[in-house]
Amino acid sequence: MDAVDAVLARMRADQGVARDRAVDADVDVDVAASPAALARERAAMRALAATFREETEDALGRRWYAHFERWLCARRDATRDGDAIPSAKRRDARDGGLARSLAKAGRTTGEIATTTRRLARAAAKARANASARASDGRKNRVRVRRIEVGGNGKRAEKVELTCGKVTLELNLRHYETLKTRWRGDARRDEDGIHRAVFCVVARYATLQGTHYKAGNMQAAIPPRVFETLEKRFDVRCELFASPLNAHFKEFCSASAMTDRAFGSLGNAFDFEPSEGSFECNPPFDEEIISRLAGHVERLLSRAKKPLSFFVVVPLWHDSRGWMRLAKSVYCVSNTTLEAKEHAFVSGAQHSRIDQLTPSAAPTSVLFLQNKAGEKKWPVTPEGVAAIREAFAPPKKEAERVEKWDPDATSWSCSRRLPKDANSWVYKNKKRDQSVDESPAKKTKKKKSAGGGLAASFFRD
């Protein structure tokens, strides 16, 4: 066991997370929340989403769900576990982002205040509905079946999980990954693993606002970036992940209540390592990024042993959190990835067929290290270039067809038109030079004095 493995083992012990299956076999692996409770929580969030859409869609447009997810993240207390439904305060300073979006869309100050009050009332109702207790224990039963979806070459095998009237979908690959992460024995306790998986999927669907296109706040960096970080900087732990998208076996997550059964180390802000190399890709929320900057600086100031953090945040020059990270005395590297030149993995990767999505905005990737960490894991230009290359979106396999080719067997044919031809249709057609063709006389169009066509033109 090397030094990093020893550090991770101590962290697991501190968080009460065992890795030995022999130990786990005697541990109660049932999650704290029941499937029925999380199904109610999801239903309550769907009702809140309907209210948000009714109140804001005319101003925010068809992508209202993205604003809803950001509003949920801003109102939710990131340091508390178990609060998927946001705060019900009528006047909350964290509504500023939504207020600015509504004002930009033309809403008046009074209209915005009315909207936020209605949303606060809807949040209070949702919290009450989510906390209602079910009297029938049979509602915790989870039914599972495999299905196949997709078409046009994009077919995928999925697992369908149903508890009561709530049905959730999960890619088969992610389902199998969760089975390997589970602390119990999936072969001996199928009902237990199905309940645990349902709880995780339901909780993160609720955190994202339940819309099938949501998930931007939970996006992950591409696998190639993780591989580069592990190879060059010995990164083996993520501070902001979930059992559904974690690349490494060690990770912190937003919902320890459902995630600890799959090896989560708990909330990132409760996690205080004294040495090691870590990846931080927080939700793109200004308050969370600012809190992360303070948390990382505090850990680095205390650490005597090598400590390093790789941080991925949006390029927000006016953001308090971004400026604190970029201007920190511990920041040894700050690289900008331009829009459309890098990609993220969808936050809903566990249920989507398409995974990588090019970023529509620039992103900052930073290294924050203490002196010992800077010496042990130096950030070189070659390392930064490797990270930039790993972030690049995948190139299209088929080369674009420049001109229409009538002999092409499919639209993706990459056959190119010869340089001396203007068209595939007339490429081989040659004029018979033996025929004496006298050039046709060109008739000039007669124009009137005013510049238009003269009446004699139509008579001719």
Structural domain boundaries of the chain?
21-33+137-209, 35-131, 217-391
Q: Which helix (H) or strand (E) holds 68?
A: helix 64-75
DSSP string across 245-302: T-SSSEEEES-HHHHGGGT----GGG---SSEEEEE---S-HHHHHHHHHHHHHHHHH
pLDDT value, residue 423: 45
Q: Which helix (H) or strand (E) holds 46?
A: helix 35-60
Residue 137 tokens read as 């224990």
217-391, CATH topology level: Rossmann fold (3.40.50)
Burial tier of 42 (Cβ tally within 10 Å: 0-12, 13-18, 19+): buried
The residue type at 373: G
Partner residues linked to 365 by β-bridges: 312, 335
Q: At what angle do helices 96-104 and 109-131 cross, to 10 degrees?
A: 140
What does the pLDDT profile of the chain (460 residues) look like in tens digits?
Answer: 565 566 666 655 655 554 444 334 333 334 447 898 899 999 999 999 999 999 999 999 999 998 998 888 888 765 555 578 887 776 666 677 888 899 999 999 999 999 999 999 999 999 888 887 655 455 788 999 998 876 666 677 888 999 988 899 888 888 999 998 888 776 677 888 999 999 999 999 998 888 877 777 778 899 999 999 999 999 999 999 999 999 999 999 988 889 998 999 999 999 999 999 999 999 988 889 999 999 999 999 999 999 999 999 999 998 999 999 999 999 999 999 999 999 998 777 777 766 678 888 999 999 999 999 999 999 999 999 999 999 998 776 433 333 333 444 333 344 444 555 544 444 444 444 443 444 444 445 444 444 444 444 344 4
Q: Are 336 and 358 in contact (CB under 8 A)?
A: no
End-to-end, the C-alpha distance of the chain in Å comes to 97
Q: Which of 119, 143, 1, 21 is nearest to 71 (CA)?
A: 119
Q: Which of 354, 302, 359, 370 is nearest to 336 (CA)?
A: 359
pLDDT value, residue 21: 43
